[in-house]
């Protein structure tokens, strides 16, 4: 039986980062992925992800974000290719809405550079936008875009160069604790043993975490791409920011500049359509495209041009929409990383470091009390 210091289940955004950080710190580690490298069947695809610092979800995320920016920069240098593009970012809506008030709270608590723009300021700075008269936006310069597939592949290359094994098309049948750690059985009957098991299985976390019974729900969400109707130059990455808009009567949605080779991407942040990974509907209905296009037209009319294509992704939702990172409450040799609730990709680099801390040191140097798995265990 082959033996390792750690086995990582799932090699998407989080698992690939964990594998890289463990291998770079001298651990004999293998990563197991049921699909291929940087696949489009989970939650780490779609060409672009927003990265931002003035975090409306909770100020506790900001210190992790600042470290994530450093680590993404390090990975970009190591990879020798662009993984992140700073475009600036707008958190927009009514002054009292969560997106604006939460972003302001985080910015003020952590002394982040920002500007609060009135509707007239938004229109003057970004003439293709149509804020309502009462709407405002927090603007932050460091916000921008991560390229998720490139990020996953960069972490995988780093991991392998540091000595990790990465096995694709490999399914985990079961795992159990032993006196020395964990044994893992793969489909086909092969068994491997390890001192530690890391489960970073995305939408499959609930099933892979065994008897914990995490209260996770899988939300189906759809990403859309459009060709601008006019003023394409005003949607370029040096003129147009990433944004999140919370507007009364419209589901919260977000979007990007006109990325080369991609077009203009926009999507609703939540669909409230729950499913499971095995029964996910991957076809996109015409009304799903039309609903997003209507919302986009009310904010950036020239962005809502010809529909190019759409893709489906999954959010793994926790009840409080905060992450699950840390030791399995029932199994001392198992570390969990999941439940990222549709806002996790930007943290992949620092989550890799956090999980490596747990495996090597038994705890993390980072502030992650908000994410303890035992908050869901009675």
Q: How far is CA 164 from the centre of its chain?
A: 23
Say if residue 101 is exposed, middle or buried (CB neighbours under 10 Å; 0-12, 13-18, 19+): middle
CATH topology of domain 49-146+217-317: D-Amino Acid Oxidase; Chain A, domain 2 (3.30.9)
Average pLDDT, the chain: 97
In the predicted structure, residue 311 carries a pLDDT above the cut 70 = yes
Residues above pLDDT 70, as percent of the chain: 100
Mean pLDDT of 131-138: 99
* pLDDT for res 365: 93
* pLDDT for res 211: 82
Enter the pTM of the model. Answer: 0.97
What architecture is domain 2-45+149-216+320-376? 3-Layer(bba) Sandwich (3.50)
Is the four-CA dihedral 72, 344, 183, 177 of positive or negative sign? positive
* pLDDT for res 210: 78
Mean pLDDT of 170-194: 96
Are the folds of 2-45+149-216+320-376 and 49-146+217-317 the same?
no
Q: For 289-295, which contacts have Cβ atoms below 8 Å and span 24 or more sequence positions?
A: 289/224, 292/222, 292/224, 292/253, 292/266, 292/267, 292/268, 293/224, 293/226, 295/250, 295/251, 295/253, 295/266, 295/268
pLDDT digits (tens, 9 = 90+) for 217-232: 999 999 999 999 999 9
Element (H, E) at 136: strand 136-140
**Domain residue spans in the chain?**
2-45+149-216+320-376, 49-146+217-317
* pLDDT for res 377: 80
Q: Which residues contact 42 (CB under 8 A, 6 or more apart)?
A: 12, 35, 202, 203, 277, 313, 314
Residues above pLDDT 90, as percent of the chain: 97
In the predicted structure, residue 40 carries a pLDDT above the cut 90 = yes
* pLDDT for res 179: 87
* Euclidean distance between CA atoms 29 and 23, whole angstroms: 6
* pLDDT for res 146: 99
Is the four-CA dihedral 314, 315, 318, 324 of positive or negative sign? positive
Farthest CA pair distance, the chain: 67
Mean pLDDT of 48-72: 99
pLDDT digits (tens, 9 = 90+) for 244-274: 999 999 999 999 999 999 999 999 999 999 9
Mean pLDDT of 276-302: 98
Whether 100 and 149 have beta carbons less than 8 Å apart is answered as no
Confidence class for position 378, pLDDT limits 50, 70, 90: low
Say if residue 290 is exposed, middle or buried (CB neighbours under 10 Å; 0-12, 13-18, 19+): exposed
Mean pLDDT of 326-352: 97
* pLDDT for res 273: 96
Whether 35 and 9 have beta carbons less than 8 Å apart is answered as no
């Amino acid at each position: 039986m082959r033996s390792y210091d750690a086995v990582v289940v799932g090699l998407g955004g989080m698992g690939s980062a964990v594998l890289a950080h463990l291998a770079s710190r001298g651990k004999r580690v293998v990563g197991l992925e049921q699909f291929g490298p940087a696949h489009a069947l989970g939650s780490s695809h779609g060409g672009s992800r927003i990265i931002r610092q003035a975090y409306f979800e909770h100020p506790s995320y900001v210190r992790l974000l600042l470290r994530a920016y450093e680590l993404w920069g390090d990975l970009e240098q190591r990879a020798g290719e662009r993984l992140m593009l700073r475009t600036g970012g707008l958190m927009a809506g009514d002054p009292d809405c969560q997106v604006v008030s939460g972003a302001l709270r985080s910015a003020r608590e952590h002394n982040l550079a920002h500007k609060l723009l009135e509707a007239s300021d938004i229109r003057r700075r970004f003439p293709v936008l149509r804020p309502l008269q009462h709407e405002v936006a927090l603007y932050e310069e460091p916000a921008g875009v991560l390229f998720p597939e490139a990020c996953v592949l960069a972490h995988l290359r780093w991991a392998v160069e540091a000595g990790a094994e990465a096995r694709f098309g490999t399914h985990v049948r079961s795992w159990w604790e032993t006196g020395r750690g964990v044994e893992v059985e793969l489909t086909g009957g092969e068994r491997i043993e390890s001192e530690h098991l890391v489960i970073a299985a995305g939408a499959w976390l609930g099933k892979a975490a065994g008897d914990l019974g995490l209260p996770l729900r899988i939300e189906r969400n759809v990403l859309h791409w459009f060709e601008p109707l006019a003023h394409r130059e005003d949607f370029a990455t040096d003129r147009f920011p990433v944004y999140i808009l919370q507007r009364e009567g419209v589901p919260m949605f977000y979007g990007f500049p006109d990325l080369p080779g991609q077009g203009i991407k926009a999507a609703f942040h939540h669909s409230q359509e729950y499913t499971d990974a095995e029964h996910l509907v991957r076809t996109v209905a015409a009304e799903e495209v039309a609903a997003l296009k209507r919302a986009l037209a009310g904010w950036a009319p020239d962005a809502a041009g010809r529909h190019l294509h759409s893709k489906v992704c999954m959010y793994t939702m926790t009840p409080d929409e905060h992450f699950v990172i840390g030791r399995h409450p029932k199994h001392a040799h198992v570390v969990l990383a999941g439940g990222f609730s549709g806002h996790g990709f930007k943290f992949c680099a620092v989550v890799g470091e956090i999980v490596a801390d747990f495996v090597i040191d038994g705890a993390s140097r980072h502030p992650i009390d908000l994410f303890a798995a035992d908050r869901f265990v009675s």
